[in-house]
């Protein structure tokens, strides 16, 4: 693939990326490796594949080479081929379904948030329109009832604020449950001691 990539006349933005000769119209894999793309080891792990592709998209040198209008291989074509081999449609759809069905259940807010963030990138709806409001509503929809009833009336539509408030609510809920448990144990002990004969 890299052998078919044509170069651009203007230099790359990153001064650390070696420039190709002006007269050089094609590059080979060795030249592509010289400009230092992030390395992918070919593991069949959807998360690793998605992370690598995200890094490649951030990487100016790769975009400069692959998105040039005069190249035979566009970034979209490369992405499609990469996904086909390392992250098939069936796996992406499975991840999206897992995201759509995600519920907090027995997870802590930290665990739920981590899983939510990891799976959110597989949502076609979120990718097409990365909207904070939608993300917050989806996140809230999966919360435990005790957290949801406290957070929903606040109508928070900034994701980081929502997560922060949920963590505070979780801590308060734990503290309240602990105090109730202690009070119950004390009342049980008092009842038992009052029922015993002197």
Which tens digit of pLDDT belongs to each residue from 160-192? 999 999 999 999 999 998 888 888 888 887 777
Give the pLDDT of residue 10.
Answer: 43
Per the listing, tokens 């002990």 go with 189
For the record, the structure tokens of 157 come out as 């539509």
In a shared domain, residues 138 and 185? yes
Give the C-alpha separation, 156 to 167, whole Å: 14
Confidence of residue 3 (pLDDT cuts 50, 70, 90): very low
Does residue 95 fall inside a structural domain?
no
Domain count, the chain: 2
The verdict on 116 and 50 lying in the same domain is: no
Of 55, 87, 119, the last residue of a domain is 87
Banded model confidence at residue 61, pLDDT cuts 50, 70, 90: low
- Residue 70 sits in the same domain as residue 16: yes
Instruction: Quote the pLDDT of residue 198.
Output: 57
* 93 falls within a domain: no
Q: What confidence score (pLDDT) does residue 65 get? A: 62
- Domain check: are 187 and 136 in the same one? yes
pTM for the whole thing? 0.58
More confident site: 190 or 27? 190
Are residues 82 and 151 part of one domain?
no
**What tens digit of pLDDT does each residue of 138-162 get?**
999 999 999 999 999 999 999 999 9
- Token look-up 């992030």 returns 38
Mean pLDDT of 112-134: 89
Mean pLDDT score, 129-133: 86
pLDDT grade for 197, boundaries at 50, 70 and 90:
low
Full residue range of the structural domain in which residue 115 is found: 105-195
Establish if 100 belongs to a structural domain: no
Residues 131 and 79 in one domain: no
Distance CA 80, CA 125 (A): 18
Alpha-carbon gap, residue 32 to 198, rounded angstroms:
90
């Amino acid at each position: 693939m890299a052998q078919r990539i044509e170069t651009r006349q203007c230099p790359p933005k990153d001064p650390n990326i070696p420039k190709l000769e002006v007269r050089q119209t094609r590059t080979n894999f060795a030249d592509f490796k010289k400009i230092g793309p992030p390395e992918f080891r070919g593991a069949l792990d959807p998360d690793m594949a998605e992370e690598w592709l995200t890094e490649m998209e951030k990487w100016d040198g790769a975009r400069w080479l692959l998105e040039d209008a005069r190249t035979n291989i566009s970034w979209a074509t490369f992405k499609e081929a990469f996904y086909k081999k390392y992250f098939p449609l069936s796996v992406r759809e499975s991840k999206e379904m897992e995201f759509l069905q995600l519920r907090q259940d027995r997870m802590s807010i930290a665990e739920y948030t981590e899983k939510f963030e990891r799976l959110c990138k597989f949502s076609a709806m979120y990718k097409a329109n990365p909207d904070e409001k939608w993300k917050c509503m989806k996140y809230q929809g999966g919360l435990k009832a005790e957290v949801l009833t406290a957070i929903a009336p606040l109508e928070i539509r900034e994701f980081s604020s929502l997560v922060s408030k949920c963590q505070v609510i979780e801590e308060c809920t734990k503290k309240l449950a602990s105090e109730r448990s202690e009070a119950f144990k004390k009342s049980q002990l008092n009842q038992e001691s009052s029922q015993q004969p002197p």
